[in-house]
């Protein structure tokens, strides 16, 4: 495992093609936590005949109860940041270290689907809520987050708030903040545990869920967070709405940056409102047969944000307006339709929105198609970048186009960009939360 393996503090970064996937039974009766789950052994071919094996927590999507960790299939290229677990290498943060090196499907689902008779799905809030937010503000965020997933016109899914309780009962679906003790990965800010059982004449389907939030390693704010701050702050609406997405059956979105279900949280609070992609995913899981909207005006009262009615895969949904190519973005402030190029790679505080491209032609005047050092999403792809030699054509005059054909050496030797980017991201320890538990 030579060149494509990088050792960082406590973890390794590898890239390769999945050559085998084997599911193993849980360790044994009485096991608790992750050991109570089946595991999946993944063999990654690293090139030059080298292979590396690592374990995914869960059964790789082959049965019902794994929702947090992305399924891996033979033939797919992946990058993985691995840490040494009790039984061998395993992806960091229950899968947070997994990055597909191919374009995954949009609005992925996690195989959880409630039946009509189970809806609305009622949740209670365990007092005292978030110590940082206080009970009133915690409850307000919770209500808004549940309403966001309930008010999607093309979906039948609905949450209902069951009120505050001093201590959740065994059969309650509850939301709680752990402010004294967080027993999971410190990089996980929220964790959704789905319970499975029988309902009517169906066996082993989702029957409820509990959602816990990490008040130990994160400071919770009702507004934009910043995971680089000390202490790291998280926008409560982004995290809570994301976890409730997992409850409904949403998996991680890997491509659409501003989506609530995007598999990463950097800061800000833009993930606190549902993107068209999120809405389309819910509608795929719980189709009402109706569109979310017919015209833009139908979206006016969605959540107060300015929206447009667009079709995604044949279903109209209320989409948020996105910033355009060249508009400002940063790690903590992203509203790009496609990609944010981070130009200040030290602080992450400066960048611009752009799009992936295959050639200069699609980029427009003054832009070239090239690779960059750091962008989000991290997928290896060329994007439209400003042409440093571009001059606005002077009206009437012809420019002395001195054969400036130096769009450089192309991209032959620059494929290392996203690896470097990932290293920059990972040690900050924020990538998110997740699991069968599907933390964020």
Dihedral angle computed from the Cα positions of residues 256, 259, 264 and 268, in that order, rounded to the nearest 10 degrees = 120
Q: Please report how close the Cβ of residue 353 comes to Zn ion at its closest, in angstroms.
A: 24
DSSP string, 81-128: EEEEETTEEEEGGGGTTEEESS-PPSS-B-S----GGGPSEEEEEETT
Based on DSSP, count helices (H) and strands (E) in the chain, helices before strands.
Answer: 4, 24
Q: Please report how close the Cβ of residue 271 comes to Zn ion at its closest, in angstroms.
A: 10
**383 and 357 Cβ atoms separated by less than 8 Å:** yes
Choose, by CB under 5 A, the member of 65, 280, 322, 440 that binds Zn ion: 440
Binding mask 377-416 for Zn ion (x = CB under 5 A): ----------------------------------------
Rounded Cα distance between 271 and 259, Å, is 6
**CB closer to Zn ion out of 189 and 337:** 189
At residue 150, φ and ψ (nearest 5 deg) are -80, -35
Q: Please report how close the Cβ of residue 240 comes to Zn ion at its closest, in angstroms.
A: 12
Q: Which of 49-57, 159-167, 390-398, 430-438 is the region at the interface with Zn ion (rule: CB under 5 A)? A: 430-438
Q: Please report how close the Cβ of residue 434 comes to Zn ion at its closest, in angstroms.
A: 5
**CB closer to Zn ion out of 262 and 352:** 262
Q: Which of 46-54, 101-109, 117-125, 431-439 is the region at the interface with Zn ion (rule: CB under 5 A)? A: 431-439
Pairing assessment for the beta strands 375-376 and 219-221 based on DSSP bridges: unpaired
Q: Does 431 bind Zn ion (CB under 5 A)?
A: no
Binding mask 167-196 for Zn ion (x = CB under 5 A): ------------------------------
Q: Please report how close the Cβ of residue 246 comes to Zn ion at its closest, in angstroms.
A: 6
Q: Please report how close the Cβ of residue 195 comes to Zn ion at its closest, in angstroms.
A: 18
Q: Residue 161 forms beta bridges with which residues?
A: 123
Q: Please report how close the Cβ of residue 432 comes to Zn ion at its closest, in angstroms.
A: 6
Q: Please report how close the Cβ of residue 256 comes to Zn ion at its closest, in angstroms.
A: 14
Binding mask 54-73 for Zn ion (x = CB under 5 A): --------------------
**116 and 256 Cβ atoms separated by less than 8 Å:** no
Binding mask 287-326 for Zn ion (x = CB under 5 A): ----------------------------------------
Of 74, 73, 65, 83, nearest to 26 (Cα)?
65
Q: Which of 214-222, 357-365, 378-386, 429-437 is the region at the interface with Zn ion (rule: CB under 5 A)? A: 429-437
**CB closer to Zn ion out of 93 and 417:** 93
**CB closer to Zn ion out of 274 and 315:** 274
Q: Which of 75-83, 167-175, 223-231, 432-440 is the region at the interface with Zn ion (rule: CB under 5 A)? A: 432-440
By beta carbon distance, the residue nearest Zn ion is 440
Rounded Cα distance between 152 and 301, Å, is 11
Q: Please report how close the Cβ of residue 428 comes to Zn ion at its closest, in angstroms.
A: 17
Pairing assessment for the beta strands 219-221 and 233-235 based on DSSP bridges: parallel
Rounded Cα distance between 93 and 111, Å, is 21
Rounded Cα distance between 413 and 394, Å, is 36
Of 129, 175, 144, 305, nearest to 238 (Cα)?
144
Helix (H, G, I), strand (E, B) or coil at 214: strand
**CB closer to Zn ion out of 16 and 377:** 377
Q: Please report how close the Cβ of residue 70 comes to Zn ion at its closest, in angstroms.
A: 11
DSSP string, 229-293: SSS-EEEHHHHHHHHHHHHHTB--BSS-TT-TTBS---EESGGGS--HHHHHHHHHHSB-SS-S-
Rounded Cα distance between 331 and 257, Å, is 11
356-362 long-range contacts (CB < 8 A, ≥24 apart) are 356/381, 356/382, 356/383, 357/382, 357/383, 357/384, 358/382, 360/407
Q: Please report how close the Cβ of residue 94 comes to Zn ion at its closest, in angstroms.
A: 10
Q: Which of 74-82, 137-145, 274-282, 427-435 is the region at the interface with Zn ion (rule: CB under 5 A)? A: 427-435
**CB closer to Zn ion out of 177 and 352:** 177
Judged by CB under 5 A, the number of residues near Zn ion is 2
**CB closer to Zn ion out of 307 and 436:** 436
Rounded Cα distance between 190 and 178, Å, is 10
**CB closer to Zn ion out of 279 and 434:** 434
Q: Which of 269-277, 297-305, 356-364, 426-434 is the region at the interface with Zn ion (rule: CB under 5 A)? A: 426-434
**194 and 436 Cβ atoms separated by less than 8 Å:** yes
**CB closer to Zn ion out of 157 and 355:** 157
Residues near Zn ion, by CB under 5 A: 434, 440
């Amino acid at each position: 495992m030579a060149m494509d393996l990088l050792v960082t503090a406590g973890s390794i970064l590898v890239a390769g093609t999945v050559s085998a996937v084997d599911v193993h039974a849980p360790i044994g009766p009485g096991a608790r936590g992750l050991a109570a789950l089946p595991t999946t052994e993944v063999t990654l071919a690293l090139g030059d005949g080298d292979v590396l094996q690592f374990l995914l927590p869960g059964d790789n999507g082959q049965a019902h109860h794994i929702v947090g960790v992305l399924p891996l299939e033979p033939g797919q290229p992946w990058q993985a940041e691995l840490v040494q677990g009790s039984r061998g290498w395993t992806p960091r943060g229950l899968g947070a270290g997994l990055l597909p090196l191919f374009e995954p499907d949009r609005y992925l689902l996690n195989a959880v689907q409630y039946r009509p008779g189970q809806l609305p799905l009622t949740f209670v809030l365990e007092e005292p809520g978030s110590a940082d937010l206080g009970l009133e503000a915690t409850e307000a965020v919770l209500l808004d987050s549940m309403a966001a997933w309930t008010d999607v016109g093309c979906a039948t899914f609905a949450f209902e708030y069951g009120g505050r309780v001093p201590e959740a009962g065994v059969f309650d679906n509850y939301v709680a903040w752990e402010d004294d003790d967080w027993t999971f990965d410190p990089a996980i800010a929220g964790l959704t545990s789905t319970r499975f059982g029988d309902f009517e004449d169906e066996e082993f389907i989702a029957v409820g869920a509990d959602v816990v939030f990490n008040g130990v390693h994160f400071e919770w704010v009702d507004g934009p967070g910043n995971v680089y701050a000390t202490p790291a702050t998280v926008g409560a609406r982004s995290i809570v709405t994301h976890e409730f997405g997992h409850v409904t059956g949403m998996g991680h979105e890997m491509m659409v940056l501003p989506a609530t279900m995007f598999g990463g949280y950097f800061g800000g609070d833009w993930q606190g409102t549902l993107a068209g992609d999120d809405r389309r995913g819910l509608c795929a899981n719980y189709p009402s047969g109706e569109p979310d909207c017919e015209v833009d005006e139908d979206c006016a009262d969605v959540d107060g944000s300015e929206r447009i009615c667009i079709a995604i895969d044949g279903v109209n949904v209320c989409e948020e307006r996105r910033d355009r190519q060249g508009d400002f973005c940063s790690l903590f402030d992203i509203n790009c339709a496609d990609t944010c190029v981070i130009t200040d790679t030290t602080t992450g505080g400066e960048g611009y929105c752009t799009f992936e491209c295959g050639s200069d032609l699609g980029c427009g005047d003054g832009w070239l198609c090239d690779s960059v050092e750091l962008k989000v999403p991290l997928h290896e792809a060329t994007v439209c970048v400003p042409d440093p030699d571009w001059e606005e054509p002077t009206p009437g005059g012809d420019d002395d186009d001195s054969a400036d054909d130096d769009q450089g050496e192309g991209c032959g030797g620059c494929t290392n960009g996203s690896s470097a980017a990932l290293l920059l991201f990972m040690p900050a320890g924020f990538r998110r939360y997740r699991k069968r538990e599907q933390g964020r």
